[in-house]
Structure 1
């Protein structure tokens, strides 16, 4: 399957302009390798789209199971941020972080672009109902000429919640929550931007109109075996 493991932590955010270059250095040279050293963390990728009005950055950490994101080692890291993390974290803006359980994953490899659509469940609809309803949508998107992989996941706020020393460094999180996120991979940002409308339309036609759809270029990818 395309995603490694059965869960991931996904994030969208901006960075204050004066800290942008330092954020990219920190995230590539320290933060991603630090995270990939934790048990259960398998792969990470950072996305960027400077053409977006907000949430220019995207990050996804793939894990073996949801428990990977509540391990003692990870919690110890969150409560003992490095000096570099302490310097960069206050520059985060419009931040949203959520642990998710993978409900579907298909495709091979890692695309150079991606599109995320996050949305809520309509009243009276269960997650299982939504997965069944979205099955034909996913099957069609997996055959789309611009799309190389499609993944669907359910939000697990109970896993990703909780105050830590690191969360206290960032401005408070006020972004709207979501129940499901569809994550489609493409070969690059132009293809992601071209596919975004089709993805949004297909999900809306299935009854999920309350979406935030964002395309990104994949700026950096790191796997566990490359992290040291």
Structure 2
């Protein structure tokens, strides 16, 4: 469906092989419910790679970017649970970006998502307009059900926290992120047959250093589901 709220926290990460089972359990049993239960968080989703790197992609939809620097959220980041400490210390290749939603299109949720980390030399308004036009064309393709453009905020989420200190190196960030949802990974992969999507992104003003991943949905949790569970 169209994204809920006007901001997204977008995260990619790998995990050391010996900690993967623990990561999968922790993420769905503790971490995502904990985050989605915080004020201003609306939904969390986790995906696993069909192709691309790192292995996992997850994101949280929030009311606005202020939620992601709020005292309540920062307090949580500075008081990780013992399970969080155990798991996050095994993260690898982490990318974490606070984003404003530039546009969001779609109805319903896709079983798979293509992630495109982009940069450009164009003015932000021009680039966003070009990608909106491209996304409208993509949405007309069979099996494509959503397209969302996120603009990274380089000044948000950069503060040092206890949780961030657990990771093996400073987090990477993305300037722009285009998310394309589809009914399955095969439909999404077909968008870039013979490099057609890459060429279209270049024509829209995307620089050559784009990073693409194709991911399958593993878990999704909305704020009202957490509230129902706790009631």
The TM-score bracket by the shorter chain reads: over 0.9
Match of 2:70 in 1: 71
After TM superposition, the structure 1 = structure 2 runs for residues 55-204 of structure 1, keeping only pairs within 5 Å, are 55-122=54-121, 125-173=122-170, 175=172, 177-197=173-193, 198-204=196-202
C-alpha distance in structure 2 between counterparts of 1:128 and 1:50, whole Å = 32
The RMSD of aligned alpha carbons is 1.5
In 2, are the aligned partners of 1:10 and 1:100 still within 8 Å (CA)? yes
C-alpha distance in structure 1 between counterparts of 2:32 and 2:190, whole Å = 29
Match of 2:31 in 1: 31
Cα offset, 1:72, TM superposition: 1.3
Alpha-carbon displacement from aligned partner over 1:134-193 (angstroms, at most 9, x marks no partner) = 232111011111310000010012112111000001111364x43211101011223333
Cα offset, 1:51, TM superposition: 4.4
Cα offset, 1:133, TM superposition: 2.2
Cα offset, 1:128, TM superposition: 1.0
Between Structure 1 and Structure 2, how many residues are aligned?
A: 224
Match of 2:219 in 1: 220
In 2, are the aligned partners of 1:192 and 1:216 still within 8 Å (CA)? no
In 2, are the aligned partners of 1:113 and 1:187 still within 8 Å (CA)? yes
DSSP-derived class of the 2:155 partner: helix
Gaps of 5+ in 2: none
C-alpha distance in structure 1 between counterparts of 2:58 and 2:224, whole Å = 19
DSSP-derived class of the 1:18 partner: helix
Which TM-score applies when normalising by structure 2? 0.92
Residue 34 to residue 196, structure 1, CA distance change in 2 (3 Å): farther
DSSP-derived class of the 2:142 partner: coil
